[in-house]
Structure formats: C-alpha cells, structure tokens
Structure 1
Amino acid sequence: MNKTIFIKILIFFLVHINASAIEKVVLFGDSLMAGYGLPKEHHLSIVLENNLKQAGLNIKVINGSVSGSTSSGGLNRADWSLSEPGIDLIILGLGANDMLRGIQPEETERNLEQIIKVAQNKKIKIILAGMVAPDTHGAKYKKEFDAIYPKLSKKYNLALIPFLLEGVALNPSLNQQDGIHPNKDGTIKVSETIKKTIINIIN
C-alpha cells in the first residue's frame, strides 16, 4: 500500500475513534446562537451539524439557546437543560445580554462559573464562547467584562473561543439589519469557528 494512502487512512480512523467521545453537543447561549431572525435551516445548530458531518464527524447538535437569555437565566435552566441523557459537550455562549443591560461583570462571571460547575458535575465537556464589550459602559466595565472568559477558561481548564463573533461583528455583509445578529453567511462563519474548536478538542 502507498505510504501516503496508509497515513491518510490511519488519520481517518484515529479521528473517528476519538470523535466517538463526542456525539451530542448542546449550544447553550442566547439569540446569537439560537438562530434569531433566520429560518430554521439556517439556525446555527443545523449549520454546525452539517458542517461537522462534512468534516467526517457524526455529531448531533442541539439548539439549547434562548433568545434574550442572560447568564442568570442560563443558570436557572442549566440543571434541567443539561439533564438530557448523552450530552457530551456544551458550547457556553452567554453574557452578551448581561453586557447590553450593564449587569456588573462580577455577577456575570459568578453565574457562568456556576453553569460550568453544573456541566462538570454532569461530566459534560465545555467550550466557553467569549464576548467582548464595547466602550458604552466605560473602559473599566469593558476591561472587567472582557476578562471574564479567559479567566474562567484558565481556572477550569476549558477550551476558549475568545470572541464568538470574531470576523462577524460590525461586518454589515455578515449581519442582519439590526447589525447585531448574524445572517446566513455570518452563521456559517460562526459555525466554522466552533467546528475548529471542537476538532481541536477531539484531537
């Protein structure tokens, strides 16, 4: 057998053996991951699942996100939402609505930390999807808010997406008319970001 072909086959099997450890993923966020303003076929959960399949990964992606949810709302539903059997991984993407409402960063951090503990107690892996605050609430607020995600990632040894909307935010061609929520193309880009992080975890 050609050496190159053998290596490709070996890599294929190694990826799929490792992938079996992650078969069900839950998007646990707000409207940025819930598919707000988009038909169901363009929701992030559908796009990401198809994206993963194209990469050879048979992973079910569940939309567990709720539009308008704050970190507090996420914490209130965490135990119930994550009690479904077989969840292997959650993409924790809350905090944007906290920031928009000017909720103190220490409260957001506290809520996210409790959600992380709920997931870990259930033996569920976590990818933390970060957000970045504008200067609306001042430089001090921005500094404290932006620090939440890397701090929690380091403390709990979590895979981190520094900014969920990297390359999408403030790009009119990738957002809906409100300038906040990803459109079809923006969702594809967000999906690619998450897919890469999932593959990194698997490997």
Structure 2
Amino acid sequence: MSRLSAIVVVLLLLPWASTVTAEADSRHDDTRPGPVLVIGDSLSADYGFERGRGWVSLLAERMREHGHDRAVVNAAISGDTTRSGRARLPRALEEQQPSVVIIQLGGNDGLRGLDLGEAQANLAAMIEVSQAAGAQVLLAGVRLPPNYGRPYIEAFAAMYAELAETHQVALVPRILAGVGEREDLMQPDGIHPTADAQPVILDNLWPALIPLLTHSARE
C-alpha cells in the first residue's frame, strides 16, 4: 500500500469521539466570560495517546495559570470534516455560549482531496455563525504533505489566509509547525502528533489566542 493510500485509510477509519470537556463543568455564570470552544478533528481529540494529555487540556491548565477563569470545551471529533463540523457547530454554540471559538478543521478535507471551494464555504459559515453568536474566532490550519502537488497545497494554504482576511479573525496557518518535520514527535502513521508534541502545538496557538482571551475578558 502506498503512503498516500495508507493516509487516507487511517483517516477514514478514525473513531468518532464523543465531546469532552477539559473541565468537569463547562457551564459559566454571568460574572465570568463564556468558555473557549474547540471544534476540530483528531489533531485536537487526543488521538493515539492517553486522553487528557492533548493540547486542549494543556490549554485549560495554561489559561488557569495566566488568570483566565473560564472553561475549555473540547468538541473535537476524530475524522471530522468541515461539512460535519459546520452541521454540529450551531448546537454547540447554543449549549456552550462560548466567548472564543477555535476552529481546527479542514485537514481531512484536504487529505481526502475534497473540493476546496466547499471546504472554504463551510469554514466561512462556521466563522460567521460563531461571530453572530458573539464569539471571537481563531482559525487553525495545517499543511498538506508534498505528494498532493503544489497547486492543491498552495490553494489549500491560501484558503485559510483568505478566510482570516475576509472575516477579520485570528489565524494560525500551521498548528503543527515544528512538529510535522520531526519523526520523534509524530506517530507511526506520519499524520498524528504524539503526546510529547502537544506542548509545541499549544505554543503555536497561544500567541494568537492571548489577545482574544484578554479582549473577551473585558466584555
């Protein structure tokens, strides 16, 4: 089996995880900001290692260390695409009433070679519904492997940049920067980072997230 075929098979067979929260009770009162909602795929769902060691759980700990008194709700599901994420986001927004939404989706669309026009439209809809609900948005992207060809890879990367500029949202173009290039931080499938990589992923996201946390704390 070729490496490309193995990648696709792994993604298609990923288990669908249930929604979990990084804190036992994600409900919030009127005296503190709403939670941070993470809607993503296996890169945010603790895939391949012990639950609770992923970057979302580490985010909850770091926020507490920096005095941000709010929950982190992990609504990531392994194997998720932008289409399914778009379908389930409205309910999550209604239930959680987040102040910040981190959208970490699109990688499975790209790895499956799905139409990028549809993926971009789905992500745009997710950004718009999050903003309409009063949440600030951080868009987190990934880079595709080189065997997908330069035109598709470049169009995929441009999708995130265009969305961030059009909708004026924070962007982390590559959440796996400093991770994907290191075999010691990647699982044997070559797609998913290890538990040891999770602090690096959080460090990639944190600078873009701090202003959103600070701003929403004032509202």
Is the counterpart of residue 124 in structure 1 residue 120 in structure 2?
Answer: no
Find the aligned partners of 1:148 and 1:21 in 2 and give their Cα distance: 34
Q: Given the two structures, how large is their TM-score scaled by the length of structure 1?
A: 0.84
Q: Tell me if the contact between 1:164 and 1:190 (Cα under 8 Å) persists in the aligned partners.
A: yes
Q: Given the two structures, how large is their TM-score scaled by the length of structure 2?
A: 0.78
Find the aligned partners of 1:110 and 1:119 in 2 and give their Cα distance: 14
Q: Tell me if the contact between 1:52 and 1:195 (Cα under 8 Å) persists in the aligned partners.
A: no
Cα root mean square deviation, aligned: 1.7
Question: Does the residue aligned with 1:103 lie in a helix, a strand or coil?
Answer: coil
- Return 5+ residue gaps in structure 1 as ranges: 1-19
Distance 1:179 1:22, change over 3 A: farther
1:11 — aligned with what?
A: none
2:94 to 76, 83, 87: 83
1:186 — aligned with what?
A: 197
Question: Sequence identity, in percent?
Answer: 32
Q: Tell me if the contact between 2:157 and 2:173 (Cα under 8 Å) persists in the aligned partners.
A: no
Q: Which has the larger radius of gyration?
A: 1
CA deviation profile, 1:51-96 (whole Å, cap 9, x unmatched): 2222232231111111000111111111112212431111101000
1:74 to 85, 93, 111: 85
Find the aligned partners of 2:74 and 2:133 in 1 and give their Cα distance: 19
Find the aligned partners of 1:22 and 1:177 in 2 and give their Cα distance: 40
Give how far 1:128 is off: 0.5
Give how far 1:183 is off: 1.4
Runs of 4+ in structure 1 displaced over 4 angstroms? 20-23
Q: How does 1:10-159 map to 2 (within 5 A)?
A: 22-159=33-170
Question: Does the residue aligned with 1:126 lie in a helix, a strand or coil?
Answer: strand
Find the aligned partners of 2:140 and 2:125 in 1 and give their Cα distance: 16
Letter in 1 for 2:127: I
Give how far 1:167 is off: 0.9
Q: How many residues align?
A: 184
Find the aligned partners of 1:81 and 1:57 in 2 and give their Cα distance: 21
Give how far 1:166 is off: 1.1
Q: Tell me if the contact between 2:140 and 2:171 (Cα under 8 Å) persists in the aligned partners.
A: yes
- After the TM superposition, which of the residue ranges 193-202 and 72-81 deviates more from structure 2? 193-202
Q: Tell me if the contact between 2:81 and 2:107 (Cα under 8 Å) persists in the aligned partners.
A: yes
Letter in 2 for 1:58: D
Q: Tell me if the contact between 1:26 and 1:64 (Cα under 8 Å) persists in the aligned partners.
A: yes
